[in-house]
Amino acid sequence: MFPLGLFPYIVGGIIIGIGVSFIYIITGLHATQSSFFSTTLSYFSKRPYFQQKQYLDSRGWRITFAVGVILGALVYTLTLSPEGFFTTSVQWWRLALGGLLVGFGTRLSKGCTSGHGISGLGSLSTTSLYAVITFLVVGILTAMIVQVLRVIP
Amino acid sequence: MRMKHLIVFIGGLLFGFGLAFGGMAKQEIVLSFLQLKDLGLLLLLGGSAFVTALTINLVPKVLKGPFLGGEFKRRKRTLNRRTIIGAIIFGIGWGISGQCPGSAWSSLGVGNIPVLIGIASMFIGAYIMGRFFT
């Protein structure tokens, strides 16, 4: 069930929760992830969907947030990481196809693992609970099928 | 304004550090969770949601509002077909690739450069959604 132990998962989760809480207490913002794609597209597309006020208002801090996430992971890699830098063996076409569906699906659903999963569940939102159950079940089924088809890793 | 960005940046550092610490930057670990070989990521999700739930539900009882002004709000989304259909499509992409939006940024931080392909694709997917399905 837990071949790598419980420690990194529990501690990692708590650190993420502290990061989200820190931003919430001081700024009142919900620090979520997938909106970044739509708000950043507002710099490039004049279509009304991308130019909606809440996207224009949040596009600046969402870029700052993404940069913070990248550098936070870099700090971990340079300090506590047992093996240093890492490169996935997942095939490029899976990263591309998966990414396309992730971008489309999270924006249609208005949330991802962080928006529905952390901030949504943290807000005790039943909408987010249904979304989380749905993407967990579908994600598990899909990954199982990928495994059965012997696409590895 | 500058203060807001500084706070968001520090929170982002913690978020990215926690993701990498908990293995989310590695698609292999995400996939081993979705293939039910290592259930650890349930603890990561549960732990982060639990801490966030404590904050969102208890802090507004103690403080009048956020330190930088405004008011505390819950994250509210209306449940409709798009919520569920979107979650299904996201789940398929997640199961195929082991990527999600936040973890993709943390992947860049651990030097997992191929995930740039995934991030570019997420932009395209988000654009198609906003361009043709709104």
Phi and psi at residue A133, to the nearest 5°: -60, -40
Is residue A102 a part of any domain in this protein?
Answer: yes
Averaged pLDDT for residues B51-68? 98
- With CA atoms as reference, the chain B residue closest to A118 would be B49
pLDDT band at B65 (very low <50, low <70, confident <90, very high): very high
Domain total of chain B: 1
pLDDT band at A17 (very low <50, low <70, confident <90, very high): very high
Q: Cβ of A139 and B74 within 8 Å?
A: no
Cα B118 to Cα A35, A109, B113, distances in angstroms: 16, 19, 10
Amino acid at A106: T
What domain range is B78 assigned to? 2-132
Is residue A41 a part of any domain in this protein?
Answer: no
Contact B114, A88 (CB under 8 A): yes
Domain total of chain A: 1
For residue A22, give every residue at least 6 positions away whose Cβ sits within 8 Å of its Cβ, in sequence order, or none: B7, B10, B11, B14
Is residue A65 a part of any domain in this protein?
Answer: no
- With CA atoms as reference, the chain B residue closest to A80 would be B21
Averaged pLDDT for residues A57-82? 97
Residues 35-94 of chain A with CB under 8 A from chain B are: 36-38, 40-41, 45, 47, 49-50, 60-61, 64-77, 80-81, 84-90, 92, 94
Question: A112-153 pLDDT, tens per residue?
Answer: 999 999 999 999 999 999 999 999 999 999 999 999 998 777
**ipTM of the complex as predicted:** 0.97
Spell out which residues of chain A touch residue B20, defining contact as CB-CB under 8 Å. 12, 72-73, 76-77, 81
**pLDDT for A46:** 97
Helix axes B115-132, B101-109, angle to 10 degrees: 150
Q: For residues A142 and A132, what is the distance between their CA atoms, to the nearest angstrom?
A: 15
Phi and psi at residue A33, to the nearest 5°: -105, -50
Q: Closest to A68 (Cβ–Cβ): which among B8, B26, B71? A: B8
SS3 content of chain B, % helix, strand, coil (to 5): 70, 0, 30
Q: Cβ of A13 and B25 within 8 Å?
A: no
Rg (CA), chain B: 17
Is residue A123 a part of any domain in this protein?
Answer: yes
Among A82, A85, A106, A41, residue whose Cα is nearest residue B108: A85
Question: B23-56 pLDDT, tens per residue?
Answer: 999 999 999 999 999 999 999 999 999 999 999 9
Averaged pLDDT for residues B116-125? 98
What domain range is A135 assigned to? 88-153
- Can you give the pTM of this predicted structure? 0.97
Q: For residues A112 and A149, what is the distance between their CA atoms, to the nearest angstrom?
A: 26
**pLDDT for A20:** 98
